[in-house]
Amino acid sequence: MTQHNVKRELYEQFARVGKALSSGKRLEMLEFLAQKERTVEAMSKLADQSVANTSQHLLHLRRAGLAVARKEGLYVYYSLAGKQVVALLGALTALGETHLAEVHKLIQTYLSSKDSLEAVPAKELLQRARKGLVTVLDVRPADEFESGHIAGAVNIPVGQIRKRLHELPADREIVAYCRGPYCLLAYDAVAELRKIGRKAHRLESGFPEWMAAGLPVESTEIS
**DSSP symbols for the chain:** --HHHHHHHHHHHHHHHHHHTS-HHHHHHHHHHTTS-EEHHHHHHHHT--HHHHHHHHHHHHHTTSEEEEEETTEEEEEES-HHHHHHHHHHHHHHHHH-HHHHHHIIIIITTT--SPPBPHHHHHHHHHTT-EEEEE-S-HHHHHH-EETT-EE--GGGTTTTGGGS-TTSEEEEE-SSTT-HHHHHHHHHHHHTT--EEEBSS-HHHHHHTT--EE-----
Asked if residue 134 and residue 76 are part of one domain, the reply reads no
Asked if residue 65 and residue 133 are part of one domain, the reply reads no
Let me know if 178 is a catalytic residue: yes
Asked if residue 77 and residue 125 are part of one domain, the reply reads no
The CATH number of the domain holding residue 27 is 1.10.10.10
pLDDT at 118: 86
- Bridge partners for 138 per DSSP: 155, 177
Asked if residue 69 and residue 16 are part of one domain, the reply reads yes
pTM above 0.85, yes or no: yes
Domain boundary among 56, 82, 108: 82
**For residue 16, what are the domain limits?**
3-82
Nearest 5°: the CA angle 113, 117, 122 is 120
Asked if residue 78 and residue 18 are part of one domain, the reply reads yes
Please report whether residue 98 resides in a domain.
no
Per-residue pLDDT of the chain (223 residues; tens, 9 = 90+): 777 789 999 999 999 999 999 999 999 999 999 999 999 999 999 999 999 999 999 999 999 999 999 999 999 999 999 999 999 999 999 999 999 999 989 998 888 878 877 899 999 999 999 999 999 999 999 999 999 999 999 999 999 999 999 999 999 999 999 999 999 999 999 999 999 999 999 999 999 999 999 999 999 876 5
From 178, 190, 200, 203, active-site residue: 178
Give the strands of the sheet with 75-80, arranged side by side: 38-39, 75-80, 67-72
Asked if residue 204 and residue 157 are part of one domain, the reply reads yes
Amino acid at residue number 199: K
Whether residue 219 contacts residue 146, with contact meaning beta carbons closer than 8 Å, is answered with: yes
Please report whether residue 37 resides in a domain.
yes
Asked if residue 136 and residue 55 are part of one domain, the reply reads no
Asked if residue 128 and residue 78 are part of one domain, the reply reads no
Question: Domain total for the chain?
Answer: 2
Domain boundary among 82, 108, 125: 82
Please report whether residue 102 resides in a domain.
no
Asked if residue 190 and residue 122 are part of one domain, the reply reads yes
Asked if residue 210 and residue 130 are part of one domain, the reply reads yes
Please report whether residue 99 resides in a domain.
no
